[in-house]
Structure 1
Amino acid sequence: MAHLPAIISSEGYVEGVNEPEQMICQYLHSTNSMGCSWFGCDVSAFSLPLLMLQLSIIFFVSHTFFFILKPLRQSILSCQLIGCIVFIWFVRLDKNLLNQLFPESGKLVLDTVANFGFLLHVFIVGVQIDTNILKSVQRHMVLMGCMSFFVPYIVCCLCLMPLNNMVTIDDFSSNTLPFVAALTSLTTFPAVTNTLLDLNLLNCDLGRLSCSTALVTDVCSYVTILALSTIGVALERSDWKPMENILWIACFLLTICYVLRPFVLWMARRIPEGQQIKESQFLVVLVALLLCGFLSECLGQNASFGGFTMGICVPDGPPFGSALVNRIDWMATTILVPAKFAICAFKVNLKSLVGDKVLASLITEGVISIAYLAKFTCNFLLAMYFNVSLQDAFHFAMIMCTKGIIDVSAYSLIRSSHAVTEQAYSLLILNMLIVTGSTRLLLGHFYDPSTRYRTYKRNSILECESDDYLRMLVCIHNEEDVPSIINLLEASNPTKHQRIEVISMNLQQLQGRASAILVPSSHVEKIPSAQTRMLQIIKAYNYFIERKKGSVVVEHLIAMAPYGSMHEDIITIAINKCANIIIVPFHKRWAIDGTIEATFPGIRTVNYKIMEKAPCSIGILVDRGQIGGPKSVLTGRTKMFRITQLFLGGADDREALAYSSRMAQHPHISLLLVLLKPQYMDMELTPDLYEKKLDAEMIDRFRVECKGRDIFIQQQVAKDAVEIVQLLRAMEKGCDLFIVGREHGYSGSQLTYGISEWSECPELGGIGDLLTTSDFQFSVLVVQQQPVDTVDFAGEKFAFGK
């Protein structure tokens, strides 16, 4: 160690293919430092410790900028690129610091690791793509996808034709402008899905249109660029045959599709239901990925091309695709992909935009601006032509202009091959950050998909006609929800005169996929991970339908979406099916001994957003075993199923009472209605006479509809929240299901004020939250009637669903 040389590496320039290239000479054994810092050597002069230092710095810089820019709705990938550009610009101010942290001898290792991380990332992107989406792409989406690439590219080429006669620029800058136009015209599918996923727009109508169109544009642009680049290289090197190379690429793709993909699908089918992927299967896929990347390099393509193609062969979703995503994505995206952005940031030179090259920079910026403008205008007009609303068409055009890591990699690859100039590359990166960043910011703050939920008619149980179907949309997150849901349907008293239409939504969190899914049960073969589960659910429903003999109609749907936007599918179906009430399970599950067995925060998020935006009534079902267990309504026991309804007044309590009145007509149900009033009225609270009238009418209607049934009505008076708790505890022994409204009228607000202050689950309301504590053992149904907004327009008042 004491005889280590002072100079570890040297650098200089040699003749290259296109221009002089930099060559690094380095000692053979400069990999591990082996503690040479104790002898006065610089540890960062060795490749391994330098690589670890660089990855650590890049990680902290990128996540610092993500924390800073997160309020501006910027993605982690954009923040990583911005952070690396700013950090590299800062480091370049001190040449000693630049040579210490990012010497030329260390860039090759960092670039190799970055490209390997990018290979893993695009493989994961390919795994998440559902190939079945191509089957659902309609003709107008194909037209929009093709025009989204060709129109801006052709417009830019037409603008470049008279350019040489107007201004004088060097040949190299002039030859790069068509490449700039083509790169700007790109729209990559991963960039669009990443934007939609971060903004929780993946499974709304705008998101589905954007995903399908972007996929067509991605395929169209890649085929065009592949053909142009192959022909361009062939013309440059006369000894290389373009048709032969394209033929080998086609053979490579056919081998992957018809040999490798069936083999991967065979491995996926061998995984037992509910089991995870084996280590041997994971290693086989990983080695196949490396081989595909190697063969892709041999065919003159980037290794990421083989990785992406291999990813498409892997079935998306659980258990195979999601397992690969969970194992690889965190390392690739969090640790290695930022290194790719650091390499791209080194190629950004802001000084090249000024000085002698300012004219070329202005012309390049003009081409980029024209391409973005033509792309936006084309997508906007096409969306309007195909009957997309004005607002959605505007936002669709913005989304189609977004870029992502695939675009950045394409820019870097074209720059490395010297197909574009330094200032063109810098302008492409800067414009991408500006356009994508502003699009995400505007969409995040101004686009609200819930505006389409406004309806002129509010649907509820209270307003359901007696001779019409009661339309119930029930949500199922796992198999444990099925017995309680079916028993609640039985308690709803479906008969030939009061029939029920059930829309059952089998909900699954989006895992290992890039696009959301909403299909009827007849398409379950497209989702292998849901087949067994869906068949079991349908079998349980069929048994219930046979018992009811034509009084129940059930429709099954499968929805896979992120928890952040899962409510979009639920509300959309509720609108299309004119549902009167949505039944959702509570996010906590109880064990046999009464303790909380599991908690699902994602389900709670879904329930929150449904209660906020649904255009119909909502019921949160808290099942402790009485609904779906041995005490259920379907057991045919001799004892009655006991239901208690607490009525304090208000719209939610009236809706709950309307539901209870249907249940009270069931021959095996006994219902107790408790009318609770405050002992003393607060003089500061002004009673709403209209609300009091509606409450009285609802109670009278209940008496008439349930006359002759097994019902009991009690008048109770409470002074404060303490007496309410005592009253509820007294009801526990004679109750299987407790029904209560989420919010209450003016009198209820006075009594429940103290309870609401300590509420852990505000979505249940004060009393509903109290009933879910360990002090009570019965099941609970919390009902909310969606309020109505009244809008004054031209002197007339119109009512809209919230």
Structure 2
Amino acid sequence: MEHENDIAKFMKGQLNTPKEEIACFVNRIDNPGPIWNSENVLEYYLKELVKQILAVAVANRVTFWILRPLNQPQFVAELLAAFVINIYIPLKKNPNTIFGYILRIKGLLSFESIAQLGIIFYVFVTGLEMNLDSVLRARKKASSIAIVGTIIPILFGLGTYFLVGKTKGYDENSYMNRNAYLLWSLVVTITSFPVVAHILSDLKILYTGLGKVALTAATMNDFINWAMFICLIPFIINGIIGIVSVILTILFALFCYFVLRPPLNKIIVKKTDEDKWDAYQLTYVLVGVIACATVTEFLGTHSVVGALIFGLILPRGKFTDMLIEQTEDIASGYLAPLFFASIGLRSNTYFLYLSLSQNMLLVCVIMILLISSKIVSTVVATSIYGMSLRDSMALGVLMNTKGVLSLIVLNIGWDRKVLGPQAFTIMVYSIFFMTFVVAPIINAMYKPRATFEQNKLRTIENLRAASEIRIMACVHNARHANGMINILEACNGTTVSPLRVFALQLVELKGRSTALLVAQMDQQEQQLSTVSQTLDQSSETNNYSSNHITNVFEEYASNNANTHVENLVAMSSFSTIHKDIYNLALEKQASLVLLPFHKQNSMEGSLEVMNTVIKDINQNVMQDVPCSVGIFVDRGQHSALIKTKMRILMIFIGGSDDREALAIAWRMSKHPWTMLTVVRIILCGKTAEVDSSVNNEALGLLTAVLDSGKQRELDEDRVGSFRLKAVNNEDTITYEEREVHTGEDIPIVLEELDKLGFDLYILGHGKGRNSLVLTELLEWADCPELGVIGDMLASNSFGSNSSILVVQQYGFGGVDFKTDPSNKENSSNGDLESMFRKAV
């Protein structure tokens, strides 16, 4: 009443300075009806809201672009943007924050309302991404880390909030209560699964042992956090009668799962299979989100709980992916950032400055305890399983990652006056700092490229005769899998030298963390089912399911006693998936990575481009991978490679790649049903001219010290050993030599050899040859990843029906693909094609 009197006096001019800052505005009533007596929202609120959304969106995009080189998740960028736009600018006439100049007090109501709507849809998308099966099937190790990582941080939270109450200027009478302790402790225990998944994927350690444990433990912890949120928030909001809210919310969740879910899923799956969804019909789903959010808000829990429950009960698969694609941009890109901006409005930097200036040591101790709580709990939990201290510390740092749930809890504490502005600000900045430092710390602790140097001789040529051969076969679809089986069968696993195959399915990921989790599931059925759904939608050329791919490799392993197959899945953006291949090849200690060619055989027998993205992936892998690489050109049903008897031609010119190709062909020759012919092409005349422009320093550590004479010496030694040990002792192995004097002689020799009818060509890419003619021809190659000879053999003008395996040896540097786009466009009519026409 006193406050209303002050406003009245102020309006009449009788009070020059009100006791409190007063915000006054006049509502204009445009609707004469008694029910709709309200201000016209189109006149003021809509225009202001559009400006606010644009300002927040621009700030988010700028901060995300700045932080992108640091591998920071979007959550960090959005929170930093909220801090930036709320920086206080002390102007003389009108001091205010940056956002304060945009957001007038009159527009605060609409801004907050839309912000709450945005966070509801944001949590709904989170529910779509969560997988309860992963929680039920989690292993003991991940469950222990999640449980211990909840209990110990609760104790740390109680202690740190007690220290907050001891800081100078803190209002103990208003905010030091048991609800504050509960809320503060809940924030400390939170680990955000979506943010952890993004960091692991961005740093390309998702498929390592650390990544698997971290992802599963984060899922468990996130599930526990949401359960604690449902159980504790009603007590914080409603006191002891909150038990009624908890019981009713649990009953509502059970109703949604057992009563609403079955018929709803049946309708959704049917409409999805029939492709009857459109943008208008999807709005009914969004109405369901609002309805469930309203119910849980009415029950006394929180609106986001209803959104989460509704997201969890919807069927996974094509419908979920379609729904996320339709709602993620508007929910996560425009509406949810308004919530982060509102957090920034509440986070008064002045309170943080005041706390630091008056209680520097105490605030630093508080933040150290907050950061170390998860690390200590993780080290304690992992010590039982014998995990190294470095991995335990890294896992603890990852478990420290916070997300939107922590901000929701803090926002509730602010609205209910459970937390004061000082404690609220300290915790918000702590959340930002804890999440911000995760990516740099993990990146510093696990530098994949530093570990590559330890494996400079991981090649087939350098393996001992009795060593296990590890091959990683990468496939995009079932047709690739069927082709890879032929190469793996020819590699001939024996008792003395068994074969271990890592069948890696490459799946494009478009920002969904669900697939990241499923890819790590140890339960193969759950994994392959979800991967199959992703594959069916991401590739139009995929004619088979992921289950078929797995069955192909498992059947191959069952028919070969000395071969073991492990099925893997790599889900990532195709622009960066080559880094996942790097790390997986390194972790699995592979000696050879097999990649499918980006062209496939058509019904007419010619090679046609199926997916240009595959070509980019292959070139990225060849540039820097921690083992040798082979690109397989599969001729499909026109190839005789599917026959039991296999005739192999290995073309040897010279260099490290050819020596590696000879080592692979030599191993294949030990298969009882394989016939190997090695043809050495000797460069004479112009073709023997050395390319002096080759920069050996850029070709790798080993090539830098190998001149042309040394390369020839190694070639002679390898060929001589092959002729002595293989040709003279095996009836199925033959050797011959052909001379070429000009570039035009090369296609002539190839034409003559192809007439002999081979099933498979094996050849090196071409490093170490130092031939001026071959270097010039490579500039005109349509597919430089195949090298000069490989590009000739794969040309449709060559007319061969044989499959091709092009090998690049590791340890001598990658291939630099610097081709002129104009050459690529005209390559079909280039020099290589014309050479074949001349040869014919």
TM bracket, shorter-chain basis: 0.7 to 0.9
Give the Cα separation in 1 of the matches to 2:274 and 2:722: 50
Instruction: Report the Cα distance in structure 1 between the residues aligned to 2:230 and 2:637, rounded to whole angstroms.
Output: 61
1:584 is paired with a residue whose SS is strand
Residue-by-residue CA offset, 1:435-492 (whole Å, 9 max, x unaligned): 3223223333552357778888966554677788866543321123134223434555
What are the residue-to-residue correspondences of 1:59-78 with 2, within 5 Å? 59-78=57-76
User: Which consecutive unaligned segments of at least 5 residues does structure 1 have?
Assistant: 1-9, 13-18, 31-41, 790-802
Change (3 A) 1:488 1:124: same
1:30-41 to 2 correspondence within 5 Å?
A: none
1:7 aligns with: none
How do residues 644-663 of structure 1 correspond to structure 2 at under 5 angstroms? 644-661=649-666, 663=668
Matches for 1:568-579 after TM superposition, within 5 Å: none
Distance 1:177 1:653, change over 3 A: same
C-alpha distance in 1 between matches for 2:603 and 2:650:
25
| Equivalent pair of 2:554/2:565 in contact (CA under 8 Å) | no
Structure 2's unaligned 5+ residue stretches are 1-9, 13-19, 32-39, 534-543, 693-706, 814-840
User: In the alignment, what sits opposite 2:832?
Assistant: none
Which of the residues 209, 230, 241 maps onto 2:234?
230
Q: Which moved more, 1:300-309 or 1:404-413?
A: 404-413
Q: Partners of 2:142 and 2:598 in 1: how far apart? A: 38
> In 1, are the aligned partners of 2:456 and 2:626 still within 8 Å (CA)?
no
What SS does the aligned partner of 2:507 have? Answer: strand
Specify whether residues 518 and 83 from structure 1 end up closer, same or farther in structure 2 by C-alpha distance, changes over 3 A only. Answer: closer
Change (3 A) 1:788 1:367: same
Which residue of structure 1 aligns with residue 193 of structure 2? 189
1:345 aligns with 344
- Counterpart residue type for residue 652 of structure 1: D
Q: For residues 359 and 750 of structure 1, do their structure 2 counterparts lie closer, same or farther at Cα, with a shift above 3 Å needed? A: same
- 1:780 corresponds in structure 2 to 804
Q: CA deviation at 1:138?
A: 2.5
- Separation in structure 2 between the aligned mates of residue 59 and residue 225 of structure 1, nearest angstrom: 29
Q: Distance in 1 between matches of 2:355 and 2:441?
A: 36
Q: 1:398 to 1:776 in 2, by over 3 A?
A: farther
Partner of residue 295, structure 1: 295
The answer to whether the 8 Å contact 2:124/2:308 transfers is yes
Aligned residue for 2:683, secondary structure, equals: strand
Contact 2:656 2:812 in 1 (8 A): no
Name the structure 2 match of 1:800.
Answer: none
1:584 equivalent to 2:595? Answer: yes
What do the CA deviations read for 1:644-673 (whole angstroms, capped 9, x no partner)? 432122333122123334556675867462
Superposition deviation, residue 294 in structure 1: 1.5
Equivalent residue for 1:247?
247
Task: Give 3-state SS (helix, strand or coil) of 2:205's partner.
Answer: coil
In the superposition, relative to structure 1, how do residues 146 and 610 fare at CA in structure 2: closer, same or farther (>3 Å)? farther
Q: Secondary structure at the match of 1:112?
A: helix
Judge conservation of contact 1:520–1:556 (CA < 8 Å) in 2. no
The aligned runs of 1:600-749 (5 Å cut-off) are 600-601=612-613, 604-605=616-617, 608-609=620-621, 612-615=624-627, 617-623=628-634, 626=635, 628-634=636-642, 643-661=648-666, 663=668, 671=677, 673-677=679-683, 679=685, 680=688, 682=690, 685-688=707-710, 691-701=714-724, 704=727, 707-709=730-732, 711=734, 713-718=736-741, 724=746, 737-745=760-768, 747-748=769-770
Describe the superposition over 1:724-781 as per-residue Cα deviations: whole angstroms up to 9, x where unpaired: 5676577666666432213433x34655433455667665455545655665554431
Structure 1 Cα separation of the partners of residues 682 and 652 of structure 2: 6
Q: What letter matches 1:677 in structure 2?
A: L
Counterpart AA for 1:527: S
Q: Match for residue 318 of structure 2?
A: 319
Q: How does 1:133-144 map to 2 (within 5 A)?
A: 133-144=134-145
Say which of 195, 208, 212 aligns to 2:212: 208
Residue identity matched to 1:211: L
The equivalent of 1:562 in structure 2 is 572
Partner residue, 1:83: 81
2:659 partner SS: helix
CA distance in 2, matches of 1:560, 1:92: 51
- 3-state SS of paired residue (1:646): strand
Distance 1:274 1:525 in 2: 25
Alignment identity in percent? 21
Partner of 1:420: 419
SS in 1 for 2:517: coil
Corresponding residue number in structure 1 for 2:366: 367
Query: Contact 1:591–1:597 (CA<8 Å) still a contact in 2?
Result: no
**Mapping of 1:35-50 within 5 angstroms?**
46-50=44-48
Confirm whether residue 145 of structure 1 aligns to residue 151 of structure 2. no
8 A contact 1:509–1:561 mirrored in 2 = yes
1:598 aligns to 2:622 (yes or no)? no
Match of 2:776 among 743, 754, 761: 754
8 Å contact 2:660–2:808 — kept in the other structure?
yes
Which residue of the partner structure matches residue 517 of structure 1?
519
> What's the counterpart of residue 17 of structure 2?
none
* Counterpart mapping for 1:412-451 below 5 A: 412-449=411-448
In structure 2, the CA distance between the partners of 1:731 and 1:304, relative to structure 1 (3 Å rule), is: farther
Contact 1:152 / 1:372 at 8 angstroms: preserved in 2? no
Take 2:280 and 2:507, find their aligned partners in 1: how far apart are those partners? 28
Change over 3 Å in CA distance of 1:701–1:600 after alignment to 2: farther
1:199 counterpart residue number: 203
The answer to whether the 8 Å contact 2:476/2:507 transfers is yes
Amino acid at match of 1:694: D
Contact kept, 8 Å, 1:563 with 1:605, in 2: the verdict is: no
Deviation readout 1:96-132 (Å, 9 max, x if unpaired): 9866621112222222222222222222222122322
Q: 1:324 to 1:737 in 2, by over 3 A?
A: same
Q: What is the TM-score with the length of structure 2 in the denominator?
A: 0.76
SS in 2 for 1:687: helix
Give the match's secondary structure for 1:26: coil
- Report the TM-score, using the length of structure 1 for normalisation: 0.79
Q: C-alpha distance in 2, partners of 1:521/1:139?
A: 14
The answer (yes or no) to whether the contact 2:75–2:195 under 8 Å persists in 1 is no
Query: Which SS does the other structure have where 1:480 is aligned?
Result: helix
Which has the higher mean CA deviation after the structures are superposed, 588-597 or 150-159? 588-597
Contact 2:765 2:788 in 1 (8 A): yes
Query: CA shift at 1:312, angstroms?
Result: 2.3
Give the drift of 1:633: 2.7
**Cα distance, 1:519 vs. partner?**
5.8
Distance 2:169 2:352 in 1: 17
Which piece of structure 1 moves more, 140-149 or 583-592? 583-592
Does structure 1 conserve the Cα–Cα contact (< 8 Å) formed by 2:794 and 2:804?
A: yes
Q: Is the 8 A contact 2:581 2:621 kept in 1?
A: no
SS of structure 1 residue aligned to 2:810: coil
